[in-house]
Structure 1
Amino acid sequence: MAEASASGSTAGRKSFFQTLEFDTRLLGMIGAFIMVCVVFNVLTEGRFLTPRNIFNLTIQTVSVAIMATGMVFVIVTRHIDLSVGSLLATCSAMMAITQTQLLPNLGIDYGSPAMAPLAIIVGLATGALIGAFHGWLVGYLAIPAFIVTLGGLLVWRNVAWYLTSGQTIGPLDDTFQMLGGIGGTLGAGLSWVFALIAVAAAWLAINNARRARIRHEFPVKPVWAEAVLMGLSAALILGFVATLNAYQIPVRVLRRAFEARGEVMPDGYTQAYGLPFSVLLLIAVAVIMTLLARRTRLGRYIFATGGNPDAAELSGINTRLLTVKVFAIMGGLCGLAAVVASARLSFHSNDIGTLDELRVIAAAVIGGTALAGGLGTIYGAILGALIMQSLQSGMAMVGVDAPFQNIVVGAVLVLAVLIDILYRKRTGDA
């Protein structure tokens, strides 16, 4: 009787998750992330899950997560890009030189409203052009992407060094620095406004998806399942914003800000940081890349080519040009990540982006992107980047030295690939 009850309970749980149409791989990653957070929170005596550390963890994840979304497209098309960290350094160097040398020589001085936008355009253009060049070498000259980007790893790291003569360049423009994280945030009030808009957008997306299924006469989830999904999305968004709003600006920083304006800070005055601009940038990238993957012809071509390159070419897809486009997107995202990384540091340094290529590839693979091509998700790559950063941040807080941190990261990457192989064999996707 007990056995029958247990089997019935298990069947109920399965039907519940199947009804909600949850991705089992996503559930596994979320479970792993929760486990990492709980373990490190215990080891750090509650310091890991404080609003301050979550805020810092979030802004530290952004640059790698942005590049990981592009790496999904690269790996899906059965290529690899080992040059992203070095390309980030070159884009950062170009933007730093633009702000400190090129624009001042043109009469656009430090603090000018045009300085930050022009520098960002230079960085994005640099990344996209170099990425397109890599794609041309791979697509039209048939040089393996591994070799092209391995060469790029060496070339662009040292090009960045020569551009700056090996010097640290800074400080960067104040407006530019606002995209780095703690220097530019929405504040508590606007963060709550953004949260409500995000909740409404999530609910609208769920409702539109249901209507589309009905319109095309596809099976739909029960109303209660849709309500559960809406409730979960609202809880995640509002909980995340509430956590960031709980991180208060230090009193000494507020006092200096009031003194700079010639005012006296009222007794008991507090102010929260709220959502960083860099996180908003990551959210925008995630939405755009997801729409690109799911709703555009380019996205369909990318996944079709990754699934079967020969069949894709025979069906009329220009796989050579597609390769150029994919690597150009990757390069542009490296430029965007360079904006966030250099703005967070407030200067360009020679070691910026070091080992980021490994972190980005690991984030995409841990997030479920198949090295064999054809499968991958944007949200999975971002979650993979968050898991990687959580591991490194947690180990640093515990006091683990850097060499052992890299050992753990390497072991986790190999384990993630093994789990991916076993999962695909079990589900028949291999």
Structure 2
Amino acid sequence: MSDDTLSGAKSPTARNLFNALQLDTRLLGMIGAFVFICLTFQVFTGDGNIFKALVNGNFLTPRNIFNLTIQTVSVAIMATGMVFIIVTRHIDLSVGALLATCSAIMAVTQTQFMPQWLGFELGNPLIWIAAIAVGLLAGVLIGAFQGWMVGYLGIPAFIVTLGGLLVWRNVAWFITSGQTIGPLDETFKKIGGIGGTLGTTWSWVVGILAAIAVLAMQYNGRKRAQAHDFPTKPLWAEGVISGLMVAMILGFVATLNAYEIPTRRLERMFETRGEIMPDGLVAGYGIPYSVLLLIAVAVVMTIVAQRTRLGRYIFATGGNPDAAELSGINTRFLTVKVFAIMGGLCALGAVVGSARLGFSTNDIGTLDELRVIAAAVIGGTALAGGVGTIYGAILGALIMQSLQSGMAMVGVDAPLQNIVVGIVLVLAVFVDIIYRKRTGD
């Protein structure tokens, strides 16, 4: 009996094209919204009629897509942690302020503590490594402390993190004495994006490896389903989905590689190495290091959510906290773990954010708590708890950043941008409520 026959016999989802593909309608909706936003701003930033504008618009250029990706990373990293927070029926309003504190700690460590107080020479790799380690430790400890107050003292997370928003924002101010700290270590700054990329060759290598990994996961997932006698998609449907995923990966790499390094910048890069740039040399940026960091975080968080006991406990607790506690889950300690993870991800967001700027500023992370929560909610995380995906939160962050970047490109004032984002957030929650009523989730 063929795979297709087995699938058709066991699952009614193979009756038509859409059902045979078994696509997540929520994910399709988010992708559709993202495509609509991109095409809309492509038209508004172009000249001529709608068809000409689709071709000559500035929103979907390699340069803008490159900038869009590095601007999304910091919020997207924190949004993956916010999924766990909201899934367990909590909220964290302190993430932007915590990012600022971690950024200040890392900035002071690499500009004052390590070189001035411990005598490390500038350029020593231990400087930026120690700075990141100290920042991560601070983020995890602060997050765990807030989780302890929520889990063991019974203080509502809303109140704890609202207090944290005020406390940590001003702790950051005292750490830096209200000053901008920098410039930061040159190697550290490469993590921020434009200053640190793989280049075209290594970007293709990473893209091809990622495509192979996707095909391998699809194949292994199908084999596991067959081994346990679970329904499977028809082979043609598996092929279509795999082909689309591979095309998106390689298309993304090709787009980033198409963004060429300015000639003068390329000359300076050769001059730094004591070399002369060959005439007519053209080079692309490729994948930024910050995007690689986001991919690594997404993979790890997805594995935690889907393949570990911790992930099962998180979603079980969010689905029914009383039942989870009666089944033996230590929900109080689980709360500490979830907030500690959130704190660590805030520190990673601080690494990317401050590295991209090259400085640690007093207003870094301002309003990020709202952007992070909005990204998670727009990405399908239910405020009632128990439901959420890592990829959805990342896509939500990308939608948010696309909206803001596009409005900035067409000249929309900042206050109106925030109004639009607020409206989109409310609409996203409303659509989510309707979706759950219709699907019975």
TM range (shorter): over 0.9
Q: Distance in 1 between matches of 2:15 and 2:123?
A: 58
Q: Equivalent residue for 2:432?
A: 420
Q: Given the alignment of the two structures, is residue 406 of structure 1 paired with residue 407 of structure 2, yes or no?
A: no
Question: SS of the residue aligned with 1:373?
Answer: coil
Q: State the TM-score, normalized to the length of structure 1.
A: 0.96
Question: SS of the residue aligned with 2:16?
Answer: helix
Q: Distance in 1 between matches of 2:137 and 2:344?
A: 7
Q: Distance in 1 between matches of 2:13 and 2:332?
A: 49
Q: Given the alignment of the two structures, is residue 204 of structure 1 paired with residue 228 of structure 2, yes or no?
A: no
Q: Given the alignment of the two structures, is residue 189 of structure 1 paired with residue 201 of structure 2, yes or no?
A: yes
Q: Equivalent residue for 1:271?
A: 283
Q: State the TM-score, normalized to the length of structure 2.
A: 0.94
Q: Given the alignment of the two structures, is residue 121 of structure 1 paired with residue 122 of structure 2, yes or no?
A: no
Q: Equivalent residue for 1:7?
A: none
Q: Equivalent residue for 1:3?
A: none
Aligned ranges for residues 27-426 of structure 1 at < 5 Å?
27-45=28-46, 46-104=57-115, 105-426=117-438
Q: Distance in 2 between matches of 1:260 and 1:173?
A: 16
Does structure 1 conserve the Cα–Cα contact (< 8 Å) formed by 2:103 and 2:354?
Answer: yes
For residue 255 of structure 1, report the CA deviation from its aligned partner.
1.7
Q: Distance in 2 between matches of 1:122 and 1:14?
A: 56
Q: Equivalent residue for 2:7?
A: none
Give the partner amino acid of 2:177: S
Q: Distance in 2 between matches of 1:282 and 1:153?
A: 24
Give the partner amino acid of 2:256: L
Q: Distance in 2 between matches of 1:218 and 1:260?
A: 58
Does structure 1 conserve the Cα–Cα contact (< 8 Å) formed by 2:87 and 2:315?
Answer: yes
Q: Distance in 2 between matches of 1:178 and 1:302?
A: 34
Give the partner amino acid of 2:112: Q
For residue 13 of structure 1, report the CA deviation from its aligned partner.
10
Question: SS of the residue aligned with 1:379?
Answer: helix
Deviates more, 1:25-34 or 1:258-267: 258-267
Q: Distance in 2 between matches of 1:265 and 1:383?
A: 39
Does structure 1 conserve the Cα–Cα contact (< 8 Å) formed by 2:13 and 2:22?
Answer: no
For residue 225 of structure 1, report the CA deviation from its aligned partner.
1.1
Q: Distance in 2 between matches of 1:377 and 1:262?
A: 48
Does structure 1 conserve the Cα–Cα contact (< 8 Å) formed by 2:14 and 2:234?
Answer: no
| Superposed CA offset, 1:289-335 (max 9, x none) | 00000000000000000000000000000000000000000000000
Q: Distance in 1 between matches of 2:273 and 2:328?
A: 64
For residue 265 of structure 1, report the CA deviation from its aligned partner.
2.0
Deviates more, 1:21-30 or 1:214-223: 214-223
Distance 1:165 1:202, change over 3 A: same
> Which runs of 5 or more residues in structure 2 are unaligned?
1-11, 47-56
Q: Distance in 2 between matches of 1:110 and 1:144?
A: 45
Q: Equivalent residue for 2:53?
A: none
> Which runs of 5 or more residues in structure 1 are unaligned?
1-10
Give the partner amino acid of 2:20: T
For residue 12 of structure 1, report the CA deviation from its aligned partner.
11
Question: SS of the residue aligned with 1:169?
Answer: coil
Q: Distance in 1 between matches of 2:212 and 2:30?
A: 26
Give the partner amino acid of 2:358: S
Give the partner amino acid of 1:32: A
Q: Percent identity?
A: 74
